């Protein structure tokens, strides 16, 4: 009986671990953790947002309407607990390996490592993942949906102009 | 006196002949001994059958809870995975602002990478010229 219980427990942990290996799974696993700040935007909310005309936010106007129209979900996790961060990093690494992501950029500066990954084709991006990790903190951003690569680049470039 | 091996090697005809030979004296306790042996065999076979059913019972006793735990574990895992999270914002305007902040954060990090690359570019150009 003990052997059966041990096998079942292992199976359960393995399946839970395997199924935590996508944006949604990682979000579900850590969003209720006290040391984690979490933001989730659903496809329904994206559709509502798509109907909102260009909003004046900050110093200029940023139109991310065309981009968000086809987004399914956005998951953001921000964690500052070293132990939880290690677990999140491990799950993200498994997720990146599982979905054959391509690394777009890696920046190492002042102890922070920023990595940007995309999965999809030459013209479209199905998944966009960004991680900004320090020794005891991590920010995980995951955009899920069919995005035009050109629109995504344009939105990021617009955001850059606004910041300047 | 015949030995056990000799008796085992006898064929049916010889056995019949010996059985019908009235001159051979049969021991008085033979009938009782056969009955005791037969009863002992019956008890032994009953005991074996009992052990088998106990084994079956113990397997059934453990297999059903094990199957229930397995189903529960798989169910919980599926629920865990497929549970759709609740929207953080109810107001699309707030969600939009959050999206802009996220894109701002992404572009800030990308910019820092591009700045480093731009700063290194003249050095790379110089190196290439020197090599040529």
A100-135 pLDDT tens trace:
899 988 988 889 999 999 998 888 989 999 999 998
- Write out the residues of chain B at the interface with chain A, using a CB-CB cutoff of 8 A: 62, 66, 69-70, 73-74, 76-78, 80-81, 83-89, 92-93, 95-100, 102-113, 116
Domain count, chain A: 1
A96 vs B20, which has greater pLDDT? A96
ipTM over 0.95: no
Note the pLDDT of residue A58. Answer: 40
- B96 vs A58: CB contact, 8 Å cut-off? no
Average pLDDT over residues B29-47: 83
B118 vs A138, which has greater pLDDT? A138
Q: Are B36 and B76 part of one and the same domain?
A: yes
Could you tell me if residue A145 is inside a domain? yes
A85 vs A71, which has greater pLDDT? A85
Note the pLDDT of residue A91. Answer: 94
Q: What CA–CA distances, in Å, run from A138 to A97, A107, A114, A142, B98?
A: 19, 14, 10, 13, 18
Boundaries of domain holding A105 = 21-163
Instruction: Give residues with Cβ within 8 angstroms of B77, minimum separation 6.
Output: A12, A15, A16, A19
Cβ distance A164 to A157 under 8 Å? Answer: no
**Rounded Cα gap, residues A4 and A10, in angstroms:** 10
Residue A164 confidence (pLDDT) above 60: no
Facing A116 at nearest CB: one of B84, B86, B110? B110
Could you tell me if residue B16 is inside a domain? no
Note the pLDDT of residue B32. Answer: 82
**Rounded Cα gap, residues A23 and A144, in angstroms:** 8
**Rounded Cα gap, residues B117 and A91, in angstroms:** 30
Could you tell me if residue B13 is inside a domain? no
Q: Are B80 and B92 part of one and the same domain?
A: no
Please count the other Cβ atoms lying within 10 Å of the Cβ belonging to residue A23: 24
What residues in B contact A134, CB-CB < 8 Å? none
Q: How would you classify residue A120: left for phi > 0, otherwise alpha for psi between -120 and 50, otherwise beta? A: left
B82 vs A108, which has greater pLDDT? A108
The average confidence (pLDDT) of chain B is 76
Could you tell me if residue B102 is inside a domain? yes
Boundaries of domain holding B49 = 29-84
Could you tell me if residue A15 is inside a domain? no
Q: pLDDT of B6-24, one tens digit each?
A: 777 888 888 788 777 777 7
Please count the other Cβ atoms lying within 10 Å of the Cβ belonging to residue B122: 9
The tokens describing A63, both together, are: 């139109």
Domain count, chain B: 2
Note the pLDDT of residue A134. Answer: 93
Q: Are B66 and B112 part of one and the same domain?
A: no
Note the pLDDT of residue A56. Answer: 44
* pLDDT interval class at A137 (50, 70, 90): very high
Average pLDDT over residues B18-35: 77
* Host H or E run for residue B3: none
**Rounded Cα gap, residues A139 and A78, in angstroms:** 4
Residue whose C-alpha is closest to residue A139's, from A110, A112, A121:
A112
* Host H or E run for residue B54: helix B30-82
Residue B81 confidence (pLDDT) above 50: yes
In this complex, is the C-beta atom of A150 within 8 Å of any C-beta atom belonging to chain B?
no
Q: Are B92 and B80 part of one and the same domain?
A: no
B52-58 long-range Cβ contacts below 8 angstroms, 24+ apart: none
A118 vs B2, which has greater pLDDT? A118
Q: Give chain A as a 3 state SS string.
A: CHHHHHHHHHHHHHHHHHHCCCHHHHHHHHCCCCCEEEEEECHHHHHHHHHCCCCEECCEECCCHHHHCCEEEEEEEEECCHHHHHHHHHHHHHHHHHCCCEEEEEEEECCEEEEEEEEECCCEEEEEEEEEECCCCEEEEEEEEEEEHHHHHHHHHHHHHHHC
What residues in A contact B109, CB-CB < 8 Å? 107, 114, 116, 130, 132
B49 vs B116, which has greater pLDDT? B116
The tokens describing A152, both together, are: 């995504």
Classify B33 as helix, strand or coil: helix
Please count the other Cβ atoms lying within 10 Å of the Cβ belonging to residue A131: 22
Cβ distance A41 to A48 under 8 Å? Answer: no
Least confident stretch, A58-72, A120-134, B40-54, B74-88: A58-72
Could you tell me if residue B109 is inside a domain? yes
| Residue B9 DSSP label | T
The average confidence (pLDDT) of chain A is 81
Note the pLDDT of residue B6. Answer: 78
Residue A163 confidence (pLDDT) above 80: no
Average pLDDT over residues B56-77: 68
Residue B101 confidence (pLDDT) above 80: yes
CB burial class (10 A; 0-12, 13-18, 19+) of residue A83? exposed
In this complex, is the C-beta atom of A152 within 8 Å of any C-beta atom belonging to chain B?
no
Q: Which of residues 70-129 of A touch B (CB under 8 A)?
A: 74-76, 105-107, 109, 114, 116
């Amino acid at each position: 009986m003990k052997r059966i219980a041990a096998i079942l427990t292992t199976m359960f942990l393995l399946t839970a671990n395997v199924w935590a290996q996508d944006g949604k799974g990682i979000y579900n696993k850590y969003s209720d953790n006290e040391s984690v700040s979490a933001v989730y935007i659903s496809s329904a909310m994206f559709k509502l947002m798509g109907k909102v005309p260009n909003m004046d936010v900050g110093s200029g106007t940023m139109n991310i309407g065309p981009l968000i129209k086809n987004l399914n979900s956005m998951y953001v996790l921000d964690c500052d607990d070293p132990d939880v961060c290690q677990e999140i990093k491990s799950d993200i690494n498994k997720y990146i390996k599982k979905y054959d992501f391509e690394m777009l950029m890696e920046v190492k500066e002042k102890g922070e490592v920023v990595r940007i990954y995309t999965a999809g084709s030459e013209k479209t991006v199905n998944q966009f993942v960004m991680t900004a990790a320090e020794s005891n903190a991590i920010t995980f951003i995951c955009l899920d949906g069919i995005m035009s690569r050109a629109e995504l680049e344009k939105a990021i470039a617009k955001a850059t102009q606004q910041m300047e | 006196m015949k030995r056990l091996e000799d008796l085992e090697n006898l064929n049916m005809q010889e056995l019949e002949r010996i059985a019908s030979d009235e001159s051979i004296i049969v021991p008085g306790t033979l009938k009782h001994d056969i009955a005791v042996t037969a009863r002992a065999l019956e008890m032994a076979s009953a005991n074996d059958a009992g052990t088998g059913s106990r084994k079956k019972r113990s397997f059934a006793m453990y297999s059903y809870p094990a199957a229930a735990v397995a189903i529960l574990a798989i169910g919980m895992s599926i629920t865990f995975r497929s549970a759709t999270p609740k929207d953080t914002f109810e107001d699309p305007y707030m969600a939009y602002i959050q999206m802009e902040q996220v894109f701002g954060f992404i572009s800030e990090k990308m910019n820092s990478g591009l700045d480093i690359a731009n700063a290194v570019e003249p050095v790379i150009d110089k190196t290439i010229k020197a090599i040529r």
